[in-house]
């Protein structure tokens, strides 16, 4: 008999979008299959992540403490030496935090916006009843959050709603603040420029879902799931575009007049601000994590499980470190150490010579499942067929071993046959 995993969503109701046997759910198989489905999907899986020990929220460092959100429903505070200082528990996957004036602001899959102090004590929380994963912007005594419902929320630093702005799609990418304007990308194929009092300045329509922008005096830079990287002027007019072979799932970033972005084709791209390629660095799997920088090097995590050190000028590899799983959260660095949150339920501290300094385990040892929505005609994912005798109880398949995990439920069932081909598959639950 085989065991299966059923994923249920606390806001959207029960669904069976991903069915695996636990006997076959090795890390290598799971990662390879998930990445192939992400490449074949026309939607971002940002909000379709389940409970586990994987590190999803981008780490930040403040006053020699690393803060990061995790799929085990906790925000962690860890010293630069790898010691746990405290955790703050929520009822959902924790997004990317930001810190200002010794207050930590973050959103969560439990539908709340949180403000806590540096000791991990709750100051306030504001309910919006929608999932949040991105890092907020803090400006003029307001925390600017974006959410799955497509709204931009401005919450006062005392926990009151100031305004909200509606976009045409889900928002998972970080908002960006430049020159008193907030730039927001959405799944509605648009990027918006919004004033600090919540008014629309302009919007630009791309050919696919837009990812987060980098903005400076030279323009607005962002990638899209239409396999295009765009540059706009500050009035929202297109200056140029750059084509890639795969979709772009992360925001752009910049360092000393070079624009960088990662792509599902496995390349880190370095572009000059005129849209010309300086170099690209290939890895062996899709890239979702943004790199960290210093004066000479770039430190990049990949879904191939490696952390790469790249010469910033030439784009050539200097060294690589193999971790235990894919890297999805953005990299960060402090002094002579770079930090990477792993999908294998560990935070890694790596010296800038490529040597392991320490690892920190999260509270759950199993990885978080990802539920990728794949078009019906796309059958790139692996097909698995089982033939087992089925034991029926009242014309339903026998269900065992239910473990409630926040908004998700891990459930084992016996089935006779399962055809698993992305979205085009038979559901075997009564």
Which CATH number goes with the domain that contains 61?
Answer: 2.40.128.630
**Per-residue pLDDT tens digits for 175-213:** 999 999 999 998 889 999 999 999 999 999 999 989 999
Instruction: Provide φ and ψ at 345, rounded to 5°.
Output: 75, 30
Least confident of 22-26, 272-276, 298-302, 338-342: 22-26
> Does residue 135 lie in a domain region?
yes
> Does residue 25 lie in a domain region?
yes
The pLDDT of residue 339 is 98
User: Are 74 and 159 found together in one domain?
Assistant: yes
> Does residue 67 lie in a domain region?
yes
Containing structural domain, residue 56: 51-166
User: Are 79 and 161 found together in one domain?
Assistant: yes
User: Are 57 and 156 found together in one domain?
Assistant: yes
C-alpha distances in Å from residue 210, one per residue of 26, 191, 239, 250, 290: 32, 7, 16, 9, 16
- Residue ending a domain, among 136, 166, 196, is 166
Place 408 in a pLDDT band, splitting at 50, 70 and 90: very low
Q: How many domains does the chain have?
A: 2
**Per-residue pLDDT tens digits for 115-167:** 999 999 999 999 999 999 999 999 999 999 999 999 999 999 999 999 999 99
> Does residue 118 lie in a domain region?
yes
User: Are 70 and 145 found together in one domain?
Assistant: yes
**Per-residue pLDDT tens digits for 266-277:** 999 999 999 999
User: Are 95 and 147 found together in one domain?
Assistant: yes
Percent of the chain with pLDDT over 90: 70
The pLDDT of residue 188 is 87
Q: Is the pTM of this model over 0.85?
A: no
User: Are 155 and 86 found together in one domain?
Assistant: yes
User: Are 34 and 85 found together in one domain?
Assistant: no
Least confident of 255-259, 326-330, 416-420: 416-420
> Does residue 211 lie in a domain region?
no
> Does residue 268 lie in a domain region?
no
How high does pLDDT run on average in the chain?
83
Asked if pLDDT for residue 14 goes beyond 60, the answer is no
> Does residue 224 lie in a domain region?
no
Place 27 in a pLDDT band, splitting at 50, 70 and 90: low
**Per-residue pLDDT tens digits for 305-344:** 999 999 999 999 999 999 988 999 999 999 999 999 999 9
User: Are 121 and 16 found together in one domain?
Assistant: no
User: Are 144 and 111 found together in one domain?
Assistant: yes
**Per-residue pLDDT tens digits for 222-233:** 999 999 999 999
Place 34 in a pLDDT band, splitting at 50, 70 and 90: low
**Between residues 397 and 44, the one the model is more confident about:** 44
> Does residue 185 lie in a domain region?
no
User: Are 55 and 125 found together in one domain?
Assistant: yes
**Tokens coding 394:** 């009242």
Asked if pLDDT for residue 92 goes beyond 80, the answer is yes
The pLDDT of residue 161 is 98
What's the rounded Cα separation, in Å, for the pair 233 and 220? 6
Of the ranges 31-35, 115-119, 364-368, which is most confident?
115-119
The pLDDT of residue 370 is 85
The pLDDT of residue 110 is 97
């Amino acid at each position: 008999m085989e065991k299966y995993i059923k994923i249920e969503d606390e806001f959207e109701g029960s669904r069976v979008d991903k069915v695996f046997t636990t006997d076959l759910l090795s890390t290598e198989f799971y990662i390879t299959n998930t990445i192939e489905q992400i490449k074949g999907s026309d939607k971002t899986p940002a909000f379709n992540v389940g409970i586990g020990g994987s590190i999803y929220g981008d780490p930040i460092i403040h006053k020699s403490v690393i803060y990061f959100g995790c799929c085990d429903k906790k925000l962690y505070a860890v010293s630069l030496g790898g010691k746990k200082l405290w955790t703050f528990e929520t009822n959902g996957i924790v997004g990317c935090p930001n810190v200002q004036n010794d207050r930590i602001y973050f959103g969560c899959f439990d539908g709340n916006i949180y403000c806590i102090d540096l000791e991990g004590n709750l100051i306030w929380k504001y309910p919006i009843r929608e999932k949040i994963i991105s890092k907020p912007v803090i400006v003029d005594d307001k925390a600017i959050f974006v959410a799955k419902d497509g709204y931009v929320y401005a919450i006062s630093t005392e926990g009151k709603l100031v305004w909200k702005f509606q976009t045409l799609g889900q928002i998972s990418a970080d908002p960006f603040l430049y020159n008193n304007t907030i730039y927001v990308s959405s799944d509605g194929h648009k990027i918006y420029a919004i004033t600090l009092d919540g008014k629309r300045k302009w919007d630009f329509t791309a050919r696919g879902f837009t990812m987060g922008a980098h903005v400076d005096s030279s323009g607005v830079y962002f990638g899209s799931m239409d396999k295009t990287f765009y540059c706009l002027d500050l009035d929202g007019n297109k200056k140029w575009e750059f084509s890639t072979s795969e979709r772009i799932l992360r925001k752009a970033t910049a360092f000393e007049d070079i624009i960088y972005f990662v792509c599902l084709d496995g390349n880190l791209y370095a572009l000059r601000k005129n849209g010309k390629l300086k170099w690209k660095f290939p890895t062996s799997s899709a890239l979702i994590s943004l790199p960290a920088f210093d004066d000479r090097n770039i430190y990049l995590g990949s879904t191939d499980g490696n952390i790469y050190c790249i010469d910033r000028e030439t784009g050539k590899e200097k060294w690589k470190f193999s971790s235990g799983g894919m890297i999805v959260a953005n990299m960060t660095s402090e002094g002579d150490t770079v930090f990477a949150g792993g999908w294998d339920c560990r935070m890694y501290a790596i010296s800038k010579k490529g040597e392991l300094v320490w690892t920190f385990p999260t509270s759950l040892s199993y990885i978080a499942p990802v539920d990728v929505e794949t078009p019906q005609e796309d059958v790139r994912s692996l097909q698995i067929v089982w033939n087992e005798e089925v034991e029926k109880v009242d014309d339903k398949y026998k269900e065992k071993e239910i473990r409630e995990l926040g908004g998700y439920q891990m459930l084992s069932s016996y089935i006779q046959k399962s055809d698993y081909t992305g979205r085009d598959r038979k559901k075997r639950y009564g």
